Structure 1
């Protein structure tokens, strides 16, 4: 039984560091071109160089997404871009289009290729086909059950890696292949610019009865609204490991550093706990508590156990009960003074929760708050301002301070 890789999203360099500091084995990110998160911060070439070094110095990996459905003009400059990624020493590239795959095999034949979930691989024959085209790893479609995945794993070559999503937002369209955004807003979802119209709030109105809104109901033939629940498999680590997949993937390149840190921590602890003693493994509620605090929609297990209960009928809003208020930049154990970089407004005397890569969360009070000039302040209201507090607790650099919303 081999421990699967824990793969986390990295929308920018801060999120990359958060993912790695909190236990991810690898991160995936978008470079300067051709990725499906055009509105994420994404990485410049220099940031990517720094990110790869940060990861490799800690024994972790970096995968770059080049997973759009390209049009003719997208191939201009593609060869130079792929060579640049190779020179930056990225560990693999996520791809979905045969044209990009063929180009990559021609110009960077030694760069590992991972097939994106956009290619909607749902059977062992297609996985075997892609493997014969030089694909090292296939990211399986989210529409598969655990049984399906286990069958595919048994039928494909052992050196063909398999990756599955275990946590994050679910697209209501098949493997993310959707054109609603294109029609409604002119933004191409398959080229990184999805406006997420599936999350809009809709009413049903008959054209000859203006102003009369009718309920949208579900019957035995299906549901008629689009808002899907988030995927969460934290309670099913043994079943996931039993499939034999290589990598467990967290969705969320558009999410916050706090989201990345908290989700990675929970899955890291759960995976490690299982492998420490599989026979005596038991799920711990504290892992779910961290996941319930980050911004999320109602959780489900997606397609893993058959037909999903995956639609939300009441609201399209996120559940946001906690905010990150600061990140610890340094802590002096003798003076008990912590230097904090602000993320949301926080007040002198506040009780906050500490999210640390190691161990359980704990609470501290922020006392004697001062700005970076040493002047006493009642709150830290400015974005990313540096302030100090006196507080008990064994704090460490990069610990995150979170607080329940009132």
Structure 2
């Protein structure tokens, strides 16, 4: 069974994504989740979860941030609230979070998400033995590696099939420090559309923003694996993630709806790679190129 997960920036978009046919919503706040397209409060998480469950859909909440002592101290209350809200699972990569789940004996399944660290089947097996119900593969994994990983485990491995890749994360507030030093009146959030480029390569713009987790820099292109969805399905890689942090509002909802139609075409044997690729290109924001990231590379090329 193919399963499509999509980020939601608001309650309104969450409802639109469910109407578009998305199977699971991925939401959360900036305090404990990394690079969310919108800060979703606990109250809204509860409302979204109730709505999703009425439509027989699921909700996952991000608890995959880089945890410091202050985060761990504040986390029990947050986890209790998520359990009360009835979310179907959280994502977590910090062992401290996983230890809390065990100590508190919460009815709150977790999906292992340690960002760039999730690159082998053995690592995933380690956390599956400790209660994980699945894992999020590192965006740096190639198709060859993803197939090998999924072949060795029974639980689902999530693969990003649309959206940007974070290529740098610093806990330091680099943007705020720079704007203050340069006496600039500039924003620092994801919606301010800030970017950087190399001096010798002005064409490729790397989006960046800052939140309470620090400074984030994204790839110059969005991953777009819509052409390769049948290949993923044949390999048993049936958990597909859409990240809308840089494609907000109706644009992302339309892209999600396209992927839902592509999923249905894969299952019915009517998938047309050229047609779906062309439709995605029409929907894609003009400021963002489409690419395949590390997906088509040989493992020894990723260095």
TM-score range, shorter chain: 0.7 to 0.9
Please tell me whether the aligned partners of residues 164 and 246 of structure 2 are also in contact (alpha carbons under 8 angstroms).
no
For residues 322-337 of structure 1, the aligned pairs below 5 Å read none
Q: Deviations over 1:292-345 (max 9, x none)?
A: 33425111111111069xxxxxxxxxxxxxxxxxxxxxxxxxxxxxxxxxxxxx
Task: Tell me which of 45, 57, 60 is aligned to 1:60.
Answer: 57
Please state if 1:235 is matched with 2:227. Answer: yes
Counterpart of 1:121 in structure 2 is 118
Counterpart of 1:22 in structure 2 is 20
Counterpart of 1:4 in structure 2 is 2
**Please, which runs of 5 or more residues in structure 2 have no aligned partner?**
179-187, 203-216
Counterpart of 2:260 in structure 1 is 268
Please tell me whether the aligned partners of residues 116 and 139 of structure 2 are also in contact (alpha carbons under 8 angstroms).
no
- The offset of 1:282, in angstroms, is 2.6
Task: Tell me which of 159, 167, 170 is aligned to 1:179.
Answer: 170
Equivalences, count? 274
Task: Tell me which of 69, 73, 82 is aligned to 2:70.
Answer: 73
Counterpart of 1:326 in structure 2 is none
- The offset of 1:197, in angstroms, is 11
Please tell me whether the aligned partners of residues 263 and 291 of structure 1 are also in contact (alpha carbons under 8 angstroms).
no
What's the TM-score, normalizing by structure 2? 0.81
RMSD of the alignment, in Å? 2.8
Task: Tell me which of 269, 274, 278 is aligned to 1:288.
Answer: 278
Please state if 1:249 is matched with 2:241. Answer: yes
Counterpart of 2:207 in structure 1 is none
For residues 281-360 of structure 1, the aligned pairs below 5 Å read 281-283=271-273, 285=275, 288-295=278-285, 297-306=288-297
Please tell me whether the aligned partners of residues 27 and 61 of structure 1 are also in contact (alpha carbons under 8 angstroms).
yes
Name whichever structure is richer in helix by fraction: 2
Q: Deviations over 1:179-228 (max 9, x none)?
A: 286445459xxxxx98799931443xxxxxxxxxxx359xxxxxxx9852
Counterpart of 1:90 in structure 2 is 87
Please tell me whether the aligned partners of residues 94 and 114 of structure 2 are also in contact (alpha carbons under 8 angstroms).
no
Runs of 4+ in 1 over 6 A off after TM superposition: 193-198
Q: How has the CA–CA distance of structure 1 residues 271 and 228 changed in structure 2, closer, same or farther, with 3 Å as cutoff?
A: same
Please tell me whether the aligned partners of residues 15 and 260 of structure 1 are also in contact (alpha carbons under 8 angstroms).
no
Q: How has the CA–CA distance of structure 1 residues 181 and 298 changed in structure 2, closer, same or farther, with 3 Å as cutoff?
A: farther
SS at match of 1:200: strand
**Please, which runs of 5 or more residues in structure 1 have no aligned partner?**
188-192, 204-214, 218-224, 309-406
SS at match of 1:231: strand
- The offset of 1:255, in angstroms, is 3.6
Please tell me whether the aligned partners of residues 29 and 253 of structure 1 are also in contact (alpha carbons under 8 angstroms).
no
Matches of 1:121 and 1:198 in 2, distance apart?
29
Q: How has the CA–CA distance of structure 1 residues 34 and 271 changed in structure 2, closer, same or farther, with 3 Å as cutoff?
A: same
Task: Tell me which of 199, 204, 207 is aligned to 2:195.
Answer: 199
SS at match of 2:40: coil
Q: How has the CA–CA distance of structure 1 residues 300 and 47 changed in structure 2, closer, same or farther, with 3 Å as cutoff?
A: same
For residues 42-61 of structure 1, the aligned pairs below 5 Å read 42-61=39-58
- The offset of 1:248, in angstroms, is 0.1
Structure with max Cα Rg: 1
